[in-house]
Amino acid sequence: TGNMVEWCLPQDIDLEGVEFKSMASGSHKIQSDFIYFRKGPFFGLACFANMPVASELERGARMKSVGILSPSYTLLYRYMHFLENQVRHQLETPGHYSHLAAFYEDKKGVLHAGPGRGGSLPPVYWLPSIHRYMYPEMKITHPAGCMSQFIKFFGEQILILWKFALLRKRILIFSPPPVGVVCYRVYCCCCLANVSLPGIGGTIPESKPFFYVNVADIESLEVEVSYVACTTEKIFEEKRELYDVYVDNQNVKTHHDHLQPLLKINSADREKYRRLNEQRQMLLYSQELEEDYTPCEEDLFVLFFLEQNNRIFQTLLEVSASQDKTLTAEHARGMGLDPQGDRSFLMDLLEAYGIDVMLVIDNPCCP
């Protein structure tokens, strides 16, 4: 019968499309997976498993996903173990929902809008707010090591993704299943764009993790101006109107001519990547020494890009508040950018954030 919702609590919740979001296309080829997704104002986490069965009716395989929805994705990860156990339980003894019902009764307060809110939708929480100091929250958002995997996987390319994330471009990451680890890449990509300066970002959409999307999401993606998502469906590559940046494994590409210069790694990018790796090495060394307080790699990664972003916007704000509003090559170097190599990135940044500054970095026609 294809994908269908077999059981849910509460029974009156709108779950249209969730049967496709919680089971990635192509999952029949793998034994198990997990998947993050968005459903309206909620975020979901589902665990998938595939078990061979000696049944012609089931065509030799039984596949299920067990998932939960929450107003925020930051707490979903802590229930991963429960969901993995439950999906195995559902495959082995189908139709027994008492554990799931008990879990729902225990946790259900989370989905309510709260007293005095009436029927209004709960707020959608994107990235854990940096102002509330996100580190304790981040440690439970995703497993330790997801950032280091991200850096190892993309290498210097993360500097290209960083620029696109900061410009709030629509970023779509393609990968065949399993998709769980790719959902982490979506999350890490959004972490590249954190800025904690007041007054920045009021005019620009938030960096939204959409996590897994499939053809059922096409209509909702058509109206989005900024998102980061992943998919297992190759058909998306042809639907260029849905994305600005397409990432196929480690290959980052864009079909927009004006964004092509951002795909080139320049000397300032290499310097940033060298510094990031240097800091990671120092962190690993201090962890070996077992010093009392050593931050984890997740903290280091987020802080590295947060400080980088803050430095850029601090400089831009200062220049825009000055009398001549002139941004020079010296300013660009001070922000950790390459005056020539990052010229088009700076132009796009000023436009995207509506910062009134005049760029006087010449575009050299000769060396």
Choice between 245 and 116, residue whose per-residue pLDDT is larger: 245
Asked if 42 contacts 31 with a C-beta cutoff of 8 angstroms, the reply is no
Buried/exposed code over 192-230 (b: 16+ C-beta within 10 A; e: otherwise): bbbbbeeebbeebeebbbbbbbbeebeeebeeeebbbbb
User: The whole model's pTM is what?
Assistant: 0.87
Where in the chain are the domains? 18-99, 144-263
Is residue 304 very low, low, confident or very high in pLDDT (cuts 50, 70, 90)? very high
Place of tokens 């984890």: 296
**Cα separation, 171 vs 154, whole angstroms:** 15
- Tens-place pLDDT, residues 164-220: 999 999 999 999 999 999 999 999 999 899 888 887 866 787 777 999 999 989 999
Mean pLDDT of the chain: 86
The mean-pLDDT minimum among 42-51, 139-148, 254-263, 304-313 falls in: 139-148
**Cα separation, 184 vs 188, whole angstroms:** 6
Q: Is 149 exposed, middle or buried (0-12, 13-18, 19+ CB in 10 A)?
A: middle
The two tokens of residue 282 are 């120092």
What is the pLDDT, as a whole number, of residue 150?
93
**What is the dihedral angle through the alpha carbons of 133, 352, 172, 80, rounded to the nearest 10 degrees?**
10
> In this structure, how many other beta carbons lie within 10 angstroms of the beta carbon of residue 129?
12
144-263, CATH topology level: Rossmann fold (3.40.50)
Q: In what order do the strands lie in the sheet with 42-52?
A: 61-70, 42-52, 32-39, 209-212, 227-231, 170-174, 245-248, 251-254
60 φψ region: left (φ > 0), alpha (ψ -120 to 50), beta (else)? left
pLDDT at 72 over 90: no
The alpha-helical segments, DSSP class H, found in 210-296 are 218-222, 267-288
- Tens-place pLDDT, residues 315-335: 999 999 999 999 999 999 999
pLDDT at 63 over 80: yes
For residue 286, give every residue at least 6 positions away whose Cβ sits within 8 Å of its Cβ, in sequence order, or none.
Answer: 294
